[in-house]
């Protein structure tokens, strides 16, 4: 059976139209889903193992405020597999079961003192600085995906409205994708700033490209875990990302729960 067929049979009458990829710090959102159906990635053909600590690797489908939702707890990164298309089977399965909206979340380093750790940033646009692309090798003409409006205006407006309604501060900015897994150097961060980035991170952009390729509408938010390399006196670490992610993660969870429960994402 294909991953899509397995998802369909496990979900039964539940028909989510929106999926949320839970990055660092957003994991607890999966525990708040009512009537959850949990499916480990290992049971879904093509779904990648997600080896990064802090990322579980399971689909959690259920309801928020009475509305169906599918959460992806854990993602695979380019730096784990050397394949920017590692999430393609996942997004293809979602599209095949009728999901047409994708909300991506991640942990990121901020280039802006006025967007400090603990902040949530709505991604308005991105810069692909990885040198890679999830559509390398894609033979069809569909590979020439337009990204002029990659981040869906209606979904962005819904997230902004939800932030406003919940009294949650929401920054906006451009996310620059570095391959990782090493963190950036201070010189790279100075370059990123000159190039127009507000935050840097190691995920999300390949999923945005794949989602647009598959015709899904997309929005994405970063949880700021640190000021980027060279902006403070201290070295960056994955431990810091894991320790700080729950702070902004709780804020972003409040925004997304409200948006879903109110039907703003429909």
The residue within the footprint of ligand HPA, chosen from 21, 59, 97, 202 (CB under 6 A), is 202
Q: By rule CB under 6 A, what count of residues binds ligand HPA? A: 14
Query: Could you tell me which residues are beta bridge partners of residue 102?
Result: 19, 218
Q: Tell which one of 236, 254, 260, 265 touches ligand HPA (CB under 6 A).
A: 236
Q: 117, 226 in Cβ contact below 8 A?
A: yes
| Residue 183 interacting with ligand HPA (CB under 6 A) | yes
Q: Which residue among 108, 135, 192, 265 contacts ligand HPA (CB under 6 A)?
A: 108
Assess 241 for contact with ligand HPA (CB under 6 A).
yes
Judged by beta carbon, residue 72 or residue 228, the one nearer ligand HPA is 228
Min dist. Cβ of residue 108 to ligand HPA (A): 5
Q: Is 225 in the site for ligand HPA (CB under 6 A)?
A: yes
> Is 109 near ligand HPA (CB under 6 A)?
yes
Give yes or no for residue 85 binding ligand HPA (CB under 6 A). Answer: no
Pick 119 or 225: Cβ nearer ligand HPA: 225
The one segment of 45-53, 85-93, 150-158, 196-204 that binds ligand HPA by CB under 6 A: 196-204
Decide if residue 119 touches ligand HPA (CB under 6 A): no
* DSSP string for the chain: --HHHHHHHHHTT----EEEEE-TT-GGGGGG-EEEEEEEGGGSTTPPP--STT---EEEEEEETTEEEEEEE----HHHHS-TTTTHHHHHHHHHTT--EEEEEEEEEES-TTS-TT-EEEEEEEEE-SS--TTTT--SGGGS---TT-S-HHHHHHHHHHHHHHT---EEEEEEE---SSPPPHHHHHHHHHHT-SEEESSSHHHHHHHHHTT-EEEEEEEEEEEPTTSSSS---HHHHHHHHHHHHHHHHHHHHHHHHTTTT-
* 121 touches ligand HPA by CB under 6 A: no
Residue closer to ligand HPA (CB basis): 27 or 201: 201
The window from 35-43, 51-59, 65-73, 105-113 that contacts ligand HPA (CB under 6 A) reads 105-113
Residues in contact with ligand HPA by the rule CB under 6 A: 107-109, 178, 183-184, 200-202, 225-226, 228, 236, 241
């Amino acid at each position: 059976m294909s991953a899509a067929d397995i998802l369909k049979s496990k979900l039964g009458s539940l028909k989510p139209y929106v999926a949320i990829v839970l990055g660092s710090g957003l994991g607890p959102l999966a525990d708040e889903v009512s009537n959850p159906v949990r499916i480990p990635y290992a049971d879904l053909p093509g779904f990648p193992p997600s080896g990064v600590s802090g990322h579980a690797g399971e689909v959690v489908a259920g309801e928020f405020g009475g509305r169906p939702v599918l959460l992806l707890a854990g993602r695979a990164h380019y730096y784990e597999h050397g394949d920017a298309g590692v999430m393609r089977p996942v997004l293809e399965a979602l599209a095949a079961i009728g999901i047409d909206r994708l909300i991506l979340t991640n942990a990121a380093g901020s280039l802006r003192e006025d967007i400090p750790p603990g902040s949530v940033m709505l991604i308005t646009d991105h810069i692909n600085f990885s040198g890679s692309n999830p559509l390398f090798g894609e033979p069809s003409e569909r590979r020439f995906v337009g990204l002029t409006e990659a981040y869906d205006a209606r979904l962005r407006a819904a997230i902004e409205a939800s932030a406003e309604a919940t009294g949650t501060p929401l920054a906006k900015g451009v996310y620059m994708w570095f391959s990782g897994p090493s963190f950036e150097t201070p010189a790279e961060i100075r370059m990123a700033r000159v190039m127009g980035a507000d935050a840097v991170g190691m995920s999300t952009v390949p999923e945005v490209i794949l989602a647009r390729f598959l015709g899904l509408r997309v929005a994405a938010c970063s949880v700021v875990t640190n000021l980027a390399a060279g902006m403070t006196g201290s070295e960056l670490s994955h431990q810091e990302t894991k320790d700080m992610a729950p702070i902004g993660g709780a804020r972003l969870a409040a925004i997304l729960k409200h948006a879903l429960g109110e039907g703003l994402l429909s």
